[in-house]
Amino acid sequence: MTQTQLAEIIGAAGWETSEYSERKELMSDLIHYNEQFEKIVDIIESAKERAYRKVNEELILMYRDVGEYISRQSENAEYGDAFVQKLADFFAANYPDLKGFNRRGLYRMKQFYELYKDNEKVSPLVTQLSWTNHLKIMSACKSMEERIFYMNMCIKERLSKRELERQIDSGYYERYMLSRKPLAPAIEEFRKATGNVFLDKYVLDFLDVPETVSERDLQKSIIRNLKNFILEIGKDFTFIGEEYRVQVGKHDYYIDLLFYHRGLSCLVAFELKIGEFKPEYVGKINLYLETLDREVKKENENPSVGVILCASKDDEVVEFALSRSLSPTMVSEYNLKLIDKKLLQNKLKEYIELVGTSSDEE
């Protein structure tokens, strides 16, 4: 734009050149100060976050200490189990406004202490979770391994109470453990390289789609429910785009969903399939990954990863299809309804027993 054209625009707006300069300078000052003020907001928010963590830490330690006191007194023959009820009655009569110290709440504190008192692995974790998340884990999990798993997930993914409930109800722990079963060398190599980030089964019960759905509608529903989808696949995923265009020669290709994984420092391409896995899908995802690595990936990033998400799969066909694939690719199933958690628990139990039997034979 020439100076004459700029002058004409300023004149049409009814500004004098000097007035325009003053307004421009004022806007520049405002932008500068806004940036400075945002830094102060960041300081305030960081302080609030540290204060919240400290308050939560002291709260959890208080519940643990109260639980320890109750546990020790309950062992005393003089008090026994009646001690909890007498203590609850005392709080109700003398401190009626103090919430959480009824009979049920006091038993939970006792349970909290007794569950974790001798576990060194848990000690550094307990103060990093909210009390509501602890209550859900204690009531829903059957083994210490499962409790520790969800504790670590809460810390890493910063799960809210509702998000934690969803993961437990969908059998995330069982699905994760079953995804670690030994498979073909090519798949094992992929798992090792990606740190077991990807699951063998994903539950997409939050999608508002019928059982018979087109791939396009499945994709659109995932975009509409992106927050829940990222909760299911992991919060380290950052969404980049849908129908992401890549060009090879004179041809355009479109990746269904493209993400970036912060932990793995790589691009992740999701290919959605509404039917059973077919071997030819591997060739297509290989093309996508090679193109991403050549044209999109930055020098400091790791090679791109592919996930073929199918309604069903034959593990033997998957093994054969991936055995000579050089690209890091995972073939996973999706369910549009919650999987029966009891079924998952039984499958995990069978797998653990099988592993135990194999170990004994060796």
Over its length of 362 residues, how does the chain's per-residue pLDDT go in tens digits?
554 554 554 455 554 555 556 665 666 666 666 777 788 888 888 898 889 889 999 999 999 999 999 998 888 756 667 888 889 999 999 999 988 999 999 999 999 999 999 888 898 899 999 999 999 999 999 999 999 999 999 999 999 999 999 999 999 999 998 887 766 666 677 777 777 789 999 999 999 888 788 999 999 999 999 999 999 999 999 999 999 999 999 999 999 999 999 999 999 999 999 999 999 999 999 999 999 999 999 999 999 999 999 999 998 899 889 888 778 899 999 999 887 778 888 877 776 766 555 444 55
Measured CA to CA, the distance from residue 172 to residue 234 in angstroms comes to 11
Tell me what pLDDT residue 359 has.
47
Tell me what pLDDT residue 10 has.
46
User: Computed from CA positions of residues 193, 196, 198, 201, in that sequence, does the dihedral angle turn out positive or negative?
Assistant: positive
Measured CA to CA, the distance from residue 318 to residue 323 in angstroms comes to 8
Helices (H) and strands (E) in the chain, counts: 15, 6
pTM score, whole prediction: 0.76
Contact (Cβ atoms closer than 8 angstroms) between residue 126 and residue 153: no
Ramachandran category for residue 234: left, alpha or beta (phi over 0 → left; psi -120 to 50 → alpha): left
Beta 251-261 vs 201-203: how paired, if at all? unpaired
Tell me what pLDDT residue 123 has.
87
Inter-CA distances, 124 with 118, 119, 121, 242, 351, Å: 13, 10, 7, 40, 30
Measured CA to CA, the distance from residue 162 to residue 149 in angstroms comes to 17
